[in-house]
Amino acid sequence: MEPINTHNGLVYPLPKKNVDTDQIIPKQFLKRIERSGFGQFLFYNWRFDDEGQPRQDFTLNEPKYKGASVLIAGDNFGCGSSREHAPWALLDYGFKVIIAPSFADIFYSNTTKNGILAIKLSEAQVDYLLKQAEKDSYILTIDLKNQIVYDNLEFKAGFDIPAYQKHMLLNGLDEIGITLTYADQIKQFEQTHN
């Protein structure tokens, strides 16, 4: 995983509540065994019509959001099934940060394990960010070390994150990576308890 310290990114606004994991990555695309290649199927039923052509009425298809890496969404993002494919699809598409008033618990945990920073802000703060991103190209800076989100206008907000998850993201470690930082101690334990 890539470490996240400070991230500057174009914002994509998705003003929908209760976006579930089947909307993020539909079930028919879960047959792949590797973690990559899922980005092309992100929000598939919203992005494409029955013939596989981009829908003109779904904003992620608009050129102004090309290259967006910060997703702003409504309450309860990532609800539904516990499929880990949802954060895989978001990350593979290019999203490194997701901001919403709340997340489904398992989805929130899966984002961190896969290198995505999920930030909870108040509904009023999220509404402000959505409106800014809908108006024009909008860039946010996320400073994980200091736990601050800000723009170059007037917005600045702190956010909470558990210390363990912050450590994982700052150092680009998943749970296996964290375990491997104790390799010497594990080896020593194995040698003394053999």
> Where does 57-133 show beta strands of DSSP type E?
70-73, 97-100, 117-120
Encode pLDDT of 122-139 as tens digits: 999 999 999 999 998 999
Residue 92 lies in a domain: yes
pTM, to two decimals: 0.91
Residue 1 lies in a domain: no
User: Is residue 118 within 8 Å of residue 144, measured between CB atoms?
Assistant: no
Residue 36 lies in a domain: yes
φ and ψ of 13, to 5 deg? -90, 130
Q: What is the mean pLDDT of residues 144-167?
A: 96
Residue 185 lies in a domain: yes
Residue 33 lies in a domain: yes
What are the percentages of helix, strand and coil residues in the chain, rounded to 5? 40, 20, 40
Domains identified in the chain, total number: 1
Give the structural domain span for 185.
6-192
Encode pLDDT of 83-119 as tens digits: 899 999 999 999 999 999 999 999 999 999 999 999 9
Angle, to 10 degrees, between the axis of helix 105-113 and the axis of helix 163-171? Answer: 30
User: Is residue 119 within 8 Å of residue 7, measured between CB atoms?
Assistant: no
CATH number assigned to the domain comprising residue 148: 3.20.19.10
CA distance 169 to 114: 9
